[in-house]
């Protein structure tokens, strides 16, 4: 892809795209979440506001936000996981049209047209009360759908992320898969730009939600696309991994550095 083509992607379509989108042609919107098998045993999650130590002021959470990779062997509680899921993709309100179709969901994160084009997958390694394996978050129900149990998922994802150590040490990985048709329904040709921006909104909320309960997060964009899609059994076209993040308990020290060697840090405050 040439630089000019990349700039077209970043800037969006130059013309007026509105008349061509499905929303303005009276076509019903796609579902807000993927279906699951009838009779599937779902995992109930605690009230997200019951997570302990969620008492950090917003100004402190913003000031302390760092990418943290030095995780301990201690896991997360189910209440902490519930809180982080709600912060990133929980649903507060559903809006329907006269036909009963869901046209928008309102969540703690912004999304262009309230389309929220992501499915949240978890690779659970050490979470109290959960078997190690792959789960999908169901935001409408605020529950987890177990997809498969596998104690080796940590090493599989570490390998797919080019052997980044913190991926293998994480208590859980948050993996966001894009479902483009949700945003394309309202924005057509400029949907790709909106989806990329929305992914940043989601991960930033994970960072701030984690700071509130004093756990660490590191966003990850260095990964093998085909391998990650394959690990989650995604087709790579209608749904594909767009972003992921490691989450884990950290030591009481400051954030770890990505750079090697001795470093001098200077704290700057406005």
Could you identify the residue written with the tokens 């509105």?
Answer: 18
96: CB partners within 8 A, 6+ apart:
102, 103
Regarding predicted confidence, which is higher, 157 or 28? 157
Name the strands in the sheet holding 43-44, side by side, starting at the edge strand that comes first in the sequence: 43-44, 143-149, 133-138, 118-124, 172-178, 240-248, 216-220
Residue count (the chain): 270
Q: What is the pLDDT of residues 228-255, one digit of tens each?
A: 999 999 999 999 999 999 999 997 544 5
Q: Is residue 118 within a helix (H) or strand (E), and if so which, with residue range?
A: strand 118-124
pLDDT at 52: 67
Regarding predicted confidence, which is higher, 34 or 10? 34
pLDDT at 141: 94
Of 98-102, 131-135, 183-187, 211-215, which gets the smallest average pLDDT? 98-102
Distance CA 264, CA 248 (A): 26
pLDDT at 189: 85
pLDDT at residue 12 greater than cutoff 80: no
44-248, CATH topology level? NADH Oxidase (3.40.109)
Q: What is the pLDDT of residues 254-267, one digit of tens each?
A: 455 444 444 454 55
Q: How confident is the model at residue 101 (pLDDT cuts 50, 70, 90)?
A: confident
Regarding predicted confidence, which is higher, 152 or 4? 152
What residues does each domain of the chain span? 44-248
pLDDT at 59: 76
Q: What is the pLDDT of residues 186-226, one digit of tens each?
A: 998 889 999 999 999 999 999 999 999 999 999 999 999 99
Looking at the chain, the whole-number percentage of residues with pLDDT higher than 90 is 64
Q: What is the pLDDT of residues 138-183, one digit of tens each?
A: 999 999 999 999 998 999 999 999 999 999 999 999 999 999 999 9
Could you count the other beta carbons within 10 Å of the beta carbon of residue 234?
19
């Amino acid at each position: 892809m040439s630089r000019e083509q990349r700039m077209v992607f970043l800037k969006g379509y130059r013309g007026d795209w509105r008349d061509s989108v499905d929303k303005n042609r009276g076509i019903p919107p796609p579902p807000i979440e993927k279906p699951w098998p009838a009779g599937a045993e779902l995992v109930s999650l605690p009230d997200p506001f019951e997570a302990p130590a969620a008492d950090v002021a917003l100004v402190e959470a913003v000031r302390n936000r760092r990418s943290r990779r030095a995780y301990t062997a201690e896991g997360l509680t189910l209440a902490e996981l519930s809180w982080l899921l709600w912060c990133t993709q929980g649903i507060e309100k559903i809006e329907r049209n006269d036909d009963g179709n869901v046209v928008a969901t309102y969540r703690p994160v912004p999304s262009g047209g309230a389309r929220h084009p992501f499915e949240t997958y978890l690779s659970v390694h050490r979470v109290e009360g959960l078997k190690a394996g792959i789960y999908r978050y169901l935001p409408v129900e605020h529950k987890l759908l177990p997809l498969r149990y596998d104690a080796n998922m940590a090493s599989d994802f570490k390998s797919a992320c080019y052997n980044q150590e913190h991926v293998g040490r994480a208590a859980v990985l948050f993996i966001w898969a894009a479902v483009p048709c949700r945003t394309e329904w309202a924005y057509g040709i400029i949907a790709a730009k909106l989806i990329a921006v929305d992914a940043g909104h989601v991960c930033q909320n994970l960072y701030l939600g984690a700071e509130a309960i004093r756990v660490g997060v590191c966003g990850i964009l260095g990964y093998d696309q085909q391998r990650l899609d394959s690990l989650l059994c995604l087709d790579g076209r209608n749904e594909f991994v767009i972003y992921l993040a490691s989450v884990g308990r950290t030591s009481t020290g400051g954030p770890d550095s990505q750079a090697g060697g001795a470093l001098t840090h200077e704290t700057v405050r406005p």
